[in-house]
Amino acid sequence: MRAWLRHHALSFGQTMRRLAASPFASLLNALVIGIALALPLGGYVLLANLQQFARGLATDGQISVFLAPEASKSDIAEIDRRLRGTPGAARVEFVGREQALAGLKRAPGMAEVMATLRDNPLPDAFVVTLAASEPELSRRLEQEIKGFPRVAHVQADSAWVQRVSGLLRFGRTAVALMATLLSFALVAVTFNTIRLQIMTQRDEIEVSKLIGATNAYIRRPFFYLGAFQGMLGGLAACVIVDLAIVVLNRDLAGLATLYGSDWILQLLGLTDGLAVLAFAAALGWLGTFVSVSKHLYKIEPR
């Protein structure tokens, strides 16, 4: 056990010395990995922020309830009573079909269109204002009200909010694809680093095999090197993304004063940052594994 720990301490020390032996190359590698990771990571952070933003808009705090055409006066009264009795509904406003038509006719360009219609095509409707603009509450009330008799259609989100959520979904897919591709790039960079390292240490590997070093012993420092380089790259990616956010927020602050909003981009959280480091280290480990499997076992003393 102590010998095993000693091996690990030794391997780690070796790894650090190797990194320190060529600091420029090591930093450059970390930077390449960092930039490769920063692209999807930046996309992810932007999306997360947009999602937060869209969620604030998604529930404008109102639900439109459209009634079936056959709903009678007493049905309307009954629905009105039930809506008012629903917990979470702060205010209930009836918009009759005549009133709605009048409203449409006032809209520019719509008067002509409306004049061509013989009958009023609009249904009676209620507009329910929610007690709180929470998506959860909005969804729950939508479901509940759908079950009322003579209710034809309930609309919680406006169409553009649905479009935004569709765009967000598209963005998430794009970020996932980019992350997958650039993960391969990270694995490839590590593969190459380790290949070069194995080549420069060819003599040492041969001698080690000749004096009875096991494969596990010989490859250990390479795994440390690959994982550590990946982690440095992950760190670089986090720094790049956070710096970019700080810069963007300066511009946003200017916009915000114009629009009277206080929306700024959130920095990468600690959990997210640690996850990025772990992920990058794991990819480095993987690249090392592939490289070591391909190159290390070919070196045998002659």
Partner 1 sequence: MPANSCLHCSTSLETDIISFSRVYKRYPGGYEALKDVNFTVAPGEMVFITGHSGAGKSTLLKLIAAIERATSGTVLVAGQNVSSIRRPAIPFLRRNLGLIFQDQKLLYDRSAFDNVMLPLVVTGHSWRDAARRARAALDKVGLLDRERAYPIALSGGEQQRLCIARAVVNRPNILIADEPTASLDAEYADAIIAMFRSFNQVGVTVLISTHDDRPIRKLNPRVLTLHHGSLA
112 binds partner 1 (CB under 8 A): no
Cβ-Cβ contacts under 8 Å for 156 (sequence gap 6 or more): 59, 63, 138, 139, 141, 142
**211 near partner 1, judged by CB under 8 A:** yes
Among 10, 77, 132, 253, binds partner 1 (CB under 8 A): 10
Which is closer to partner 1, CB of 203 or CB of 251?
203
Give yes or no for residue 213 binding partner 1 (CB under 8 A). Answer: yes
Q: Which stretch binds partner 1 (CB under 8 A): 66-74, 88-96, 164-172, 208-216?
A: 208-216
Q: Residue 199 interacts with partner 1 (CB under 8 A)?
A: no
Binding of residue 207 to partner 1 (CB under 8 A): yes
**Closer residue to partner 1, CB minimum distance, 216 or 270:** 216
Min CB(19)–partner 1 separation in Å: 16
Considering the complex, state which of residue 52 and residue 214 has its C-beta at the smaller distance from partner 1: 214
By CB under 8 A, the count of residues binding partner 1 is 22
CB of 218 to partner 1, least distance (A): 9
Residue ranges in 261-300 that form contacts with partner 1 under rule CB under 8 A = 300
Kind of pairing between the strands at 62-67 and 125-130: antiparallel
- Which of these ranges, 56-64, 65-73, 181-189, 203-211, lies near partner 1 under the rule CB under 8 A? 203-211
Among 87, 147, 212, 254, binds partner 1 (CB under 8 A): 212
Could you count the other beta carbons within 10 Å of the beta carbon of residue 33? 29
Name the residue nearer to partner 1 (CB basis): 10 or 274: 10
Name the site residues for partner 1 (rule: CB under 8 A): 2-4, 6-7, 10, 203-204, 206-215, 217, 300-302
